[in-house]
Amino acid sequence: MNANGEESRRRKRLIRVISIAIAVSLVTISMKTGAWLLTGSVGLLSDAIESVVNLVAALVGLIVILWSTRPPDEDHAYGHEKADYVSAGFEGALILLAALTIAYAAIDRLINPAGLSEVGIGLAISVLASLINLGAAALLIRTGSEEQSMTLVADGRHLMTDVWTTAGVVVGVGLVWLTGWQTLDPLIALVVAGNIVRTGVSLVRDSMSGLMDKGLPPGEIDAVNAVLARYEDSGRVEFHALRTRKAGRRSFITVHVLVPGEWSVQAGHDFAERVEEDLRQTAEPATVFTHLEPVEDPVSFEDTELDRTGR
């Protein structure tokens, strides 16, 4: 399959999976809202609020996928894949907003206690909704990892947090039901709020890291250095000014290639082409830039930093 065909396949798969997440969010919102209305539990209300966040995040994810999978154009020569980080950051912010909403409802219930009703039916509905979310989360994380989509991985991680949230709420509300200790219900909601804050902060941090052009992870850097080490030839060939960054799933690698000044332009070009091809294999898809310099010229060593020195 050619590159255009592969991109088209990937785009369709991402859209299909995020559409499933949207449908799942609609179903679980209805189920969890019903469970809350039946029981009056603020813990179950917090669970329903998180599902609303799931829906908004999935809708934003769909928009971002439609944008990030567009091919490069005149105004975006390097493509649109950084939009993935916008999605993850927005989802993290939504999670933090949901946590504040849950905490507000929980504190209000602590001040104004209320009894629960129809707890058995409400908990059964919540458990079923959680199982649906578990299947969707596993699909999102697996597909996101396979297709290197931060949007899907972030959405999947959020849904998985929702699964654990529901499990905690179900156990806690069940204990309220058995013991009659009403204060436990809002305390559970506060624990839920704290737990999803952790996920929200993590997503915002990952988003900011990507937008700040963080380098490739250590394992990929090691693979890049291993390729360069194979080409170094008893001091006749050297490399410096290696820089990397990640934009969505695409890796960018730049390195200066120092070769003997006696080489012809053709020989230097052919050598750089071989290096670039091997580097592309270390972090697919990768865009590789090389800059050819004579190893004997001192000026070649004045551009090892981001800004040229010595001039």
In this structure, are 292 and 149 located in the same domain? Answer: no
Please say whether the beta carbons of 125 and 34 come within 8 A. Answer: yes
Question: What is the identity of the amino acid at 108?
Answer: D
Confidence of residue 115 (pLDDT cuts 50, 70, 90): low
Residue 275 is predicted with a pLDDT of 93
Query: Would 308 be classed as within a structural domain?
Result: no
Residue 276 is predicted with a pLDDT of 93
Kindly report the number of other CB atoms within 10 A of residue 235's CB atom. 7
In this structure, are 112 and 260 located in the same domain? Answer: no
Residues sharing a CB contact under 8 Å with residue 57, sequence separation 6 or more, in sequence order? 87, 90, 91, 94, 95, 154, 155, 158
Report which listed range, 119-133, 153-167, 181-195, is most confident.
Answer: 119-133
Query: Would 234 be classed as within a structural domain?
Result: yes
In this structure, are 237 and 187 located in the same domain? Answer: no
Q: At 67, list the tokens.
A: 């944008």
Q: At 239, list the tokens.
A: 């490399």
Question: What is the rounded average pLDDT for all residues in the chain?
Answer: 82
Query: Would 29 be classed as within a structural domain?
Result: yes
Percent of the chain scoring above 70 in pLDDT: 90
**pTM of the complete model beyond 0.85:** no
Alpha-carbon span 158 to 162, nearest angstrom:
6
Where among 153, 186, 211 does a domain terminate?
A: 211
Q: What CATH number is associated with residue 289?
A: 3.30.70.1350
Mean pLDDT of 124-133: 90
In this structure, are 177 and 235 located in the same domain? Answer: no
DSSP 8-class letter at 212 = T
Query: Would 150 be classed as within a structural domain?
Result: yes
Residue 257 is predicted with a pLDDT of 93
Residue 271 is predicted with a pLDDT of 93
User: Where are the strands (E) in 196-308, listed by range?
Assistant: 238-247, 250-259, 286-294
Query: Would 309 be classed as within a structural domain?
Result: no
Number of domains, the chain: 2
pLDDT digits (tens, 9 = 90+) for 248-267: 778 899 999 999 999 999 99
Residue with more model confidence, 115 or 305:
305
Minimum mean pLDDT range among 32-46, 203-217, 235-249, 270-284:
203-217
Alpha-carbon span 75 to 250, nearest angstrom:
18
Confidence of residue 56 (pLDDT cuts 50, 70, 90): confident
Where among 179, 211, 243 does a domain terminate?
A: 211
Q: At 301, list the tokens.
A: 């060593």
Residue range of the domain that includes 244: 218-301
Mean pLDDT of 166-190: 76
